[in-house]
Structure 1
């Protein structure tokens, strides 16, 4: 079968279904006609693509239900924050501490700024086109069919892995109170709870995430305030001093190479920021709310990452904290934040913080479950996932997509049963590998998007930083992270899995196109009769 390139002008069908948000113009796109060996030429369903795109932009679906714009400004703001504060900071920082020592503060600052640049690039696109399944939509529209297909499925598997990581962390936090409860039991219990929340309507999800994030924010601000008081007043003990940042082997106790080797784990901490892109189709006034949420990301990174880490590493020498964490033989046995206050003799504060880090993990898993279902929905509407997954019930909930994602996430329970001590490290490395692909595709899709905007003499409402040089920096950074991962035993396998994953997606894409062509031929044959 060969393809003949054609250009087709398609007017959006059923324009009465358009949202008042904006009215898209007539679509002209390059499409492919499929030609059989018998030279029977049949037009591929190009106009259906234009109709699907129109429905995305209106926040609607082509099935019996539609997405509801039920997320308010306060929901969007806290969802953005919820994705930024989770296991990567509260538990992953234990592994970073071992490699980088106090220089981890610099590592989080560097990686956080790159994440902010990626968010600005994504934000520029979703403000112009607030659609469901935004990642794959932009890659599909401005880069190509396979790019959209790969971007969608990669993003879906990314948040599946993030959810698995958070469920694993939940089990470790529960161990602080009940060490006899296996991690897989805790993971299973909270798995059910979070999926029930997402199976309710989007307002229930938004409210749950709002309060999850509020708990995190209040607690971290309180921790920073309490830690600052202990440092200034001297009530933190003789070991509490800002000089701990450089007096125990220096700021780079393991050299610059120690920080470099920790960058991959640090990147894991910022893997939830892109969740904001999934709220576009259900956000009230996205053109106002989305830019505000994205611009506040940089301040949240400074306060909740940099501020919290400075206080943490000032209250007790980093090497003493590391020795306590490693006593169990598991680098990720507990949160450094909880352990610091436990070492200071403040058991009440330690218990409160353990509750907070537990809430943080549930918050990220809650947001990830939301993102997965919307990504599957968007891909189903694009024809990149089974059409049945585009079904939305009358409450505006994509039940089938939620259940499909939940079925795969259950693997986390099995991993915690089989390899409880190694599950988190394995999942974190896989998250970083898929996150590298995700960030690269967002940045390059934005590059292509801006080329299109410049060609058509349009000015973005919300500009990314330093185009095109900002894109070059982001793409170079993800290549750097891949190089670092190749040097770390135990994480290398996740890098080797990337080309295997891309080839597998290419094969799946080819199968999908073949079936689409066969369907088109069958439809043409039926109409000819």
Structure 2
């Protein structure tokens, strides 16, 4: 009787509370991570101006992957996520593997983002223990994620807006300097111009190995671009909104990554950009903006909060998608939604693990293990992306294929090329010792958990 009452009072499907405004801004926010603000100096130092080409190549292949996801979701906009399409077009065992593997790649980065947030907050509040601020932030984000999905969308809208404004400020300032022929002082002396990019240009200023090393760094700065594929079931009119949002992926990459880095290298000779300092901070300081470090700390804090908020959201939806595909006791527990059509159980489970971050940071053995597994998520992400592309190839051969749908462009060429590109990035992980460990760990996870998934689903 109680079970019947619960069924009649609680929804069984996610509500469509995300508007085009929300999804559009979240898609932009998902593309722009803290890696752009803090890690761009590393990649510029490795390759110089040719890093722009690496961003364009990587961005193009990720756009093709997003079109593949979009094509499958267009046919079935009720799909909870790309977990559903992998289960449908490959098999349930692979869907189970992708679902829980993807969840791992959400939880571990979320713990890293929470640690970073504690450090950013200590810039202003040095006398308050980081763990206290971390738990306070988690409490706020959990409440936000347990309310109606439109409130989550609204929060992400404003988080993303701050990141976008910061980048557009740099682009606008740079273009003004170029137009007015502004001359930089000191070691950066000289006229601000795009000639700073082309003068003495070399494809491999530090050698071809460093050029290749930059590919994985650039690739992982884009991770999170696939979050849009988890929003279809909660988006108003997804057949209209999702294609529009995905079609702007390439434009966003060109403006916010290629555009911003080109402007930075036009302002400062790239040879003088320090690898361990944010080039954005440097630009603000060079133009005489007081409090440049504080401003960038606020921006990266916002970027980290945006990332953490989205990771909590995505982890909950990922487990809910798994619960729709499998009928085990664990999945049945997570299949129930709250009265506001939120997968509250899945969110609380995921957020509870993320809240263990302060404990992990306090215990050296756990911290070392965390760093090892966190680096392995990079390799696992590549496996997941490849399986999504394989699922898309199966979809194309299925009866669901819509010849007049939201099709992946130039499929016969772009589909195999994208898969080969992901394999290429995975192979490049073996160049450096740290990445090599991650690659081996990713392979071990794929084999061991892949076998477990096959056993569990078919038992």
Change (3 A) 1:404 1:410: same
- Whole-Å Cα distance in 2 between the matches of residues 381 and 63 of structure 1? 16
Change (3 A) 1:236 1:254: same
Please point out which of 345, 348, 352 is paired with 1:400: 345
- Whole-Å Cα distance in 2 between the matches of residues 137 and 148 of structure 1? 7
Q: Which residue of 2 aligns with 1:369?
A: 312
* 1:315 matches 2:267: yes
Instruction: State the Cα deviation string for residues 133-190 of structure 1 (Å, max 9, x = none).
Output: 3222111111112111111112211222332343344345446556677765654443
Provide TM-score, normalisation by structure 2: 0.88
SS at match of 1:468: helix
Deviation of 1:93 (Å): 2.0
Q: Which residue of 2 aligns with 1:115?
A: 62
Q: Which residue of 1 aligns with 2:379?
A: 433
SS at match of 2:433: coil
Does structure 2 retain, via aligned residues, the 8 Å contact 1:86–1:364?
yes
Change (3 A) 1:245 1:114: same
Does structure 1 retain, via aligned residues, the 8 Å contact 2:395–2:401?
no
- Whole-Å Cα distance in 2 between the matches of residues 192 and 430 of structure 1? 28
Matches within 5 A, 1:277-316: 277-316=229-268
Bigger RCO (CA 8 Å, 6+ sep): 2
Instruction: State the Cα deviation string for residues 321-363 of structure 1 (Å, max 9, x = none).
Output: 216x3xxxxxxxx533123323543224543333222212211
Gaps of 5+ in 1: 1-59, 326-333, 518-529
Q: Which residue of 2 aligns with 1:445?
A: 391
- Whole-Å Cα distance in 2 between the matches of residues 180 and 338 of structure 1? 25
Matches within 5 A, 1:84-99: 84-99=31-46
Instruction: State the Cα deviation string for residues 374-397 of structure 1 (Å, max 9, x = none).
Output: 110010121175311111111111
- Whole-Å Cα distance in 1 between the matches of residues 163 and 381 of structure 2? 24
Residues 307-316 or 340-349, more deviating: 340-349
Instruction: Say which structure is richer in helix.
Output: 2
Higher Cα radius of gyration: 1
Q: Which residue of 2 aligns with 1:498?
A: 442
Deviation of 1:482 (Å): 1.1
Does structure 1 retain, via aligned residues, the 8 Å contact 2:360–2:370?
no
* 1:468 matches 2:412: yes
Q: Which residue of 2 aligns with 1:205?
A: 152
Please point out which of 136, 140, 143 is paired with 2:83: 136
Change (3 A) 1:422 1:248: farther
Residues 88-97 or 220-229, more deviating: 88-97
- Whole-Å Cα distance in 2 between the matches of residues 101 and 170 of structure 1? 30
Please point out which of 94, 105, 112 is paired with 1:147: 94
Does structure 2 retain, via aligned residues, the 8 Å contact 1:164–1:427?
no
Does structure 1 retain, via aligned residues, the 8 Å contact 2:75–2:402?
no
Does structure 2 retain, via aligned residues, the 8 Å contact 1:268–1:428?
no
SS at match of 1:307: helix
Q: Which residue of 2 aligns with 1:225?
A: 172
Please point out which of 280, 294, 312 is paired with 1:337: 280
Q: Which residue of 1 aligns with 2:3?
A: none
Does structure 1 retain, via aligned residues, the 8 Å contact 2:94–2:450?
no
- Whole-Å Cα distance in 2 between the matches of residues 208 and 387 of structure 1? 30
Change (3 A) 1:185 1:446: same
Change (3 A) 1:448 1:217: same
Deviation of 1:267 (Å): 0.9
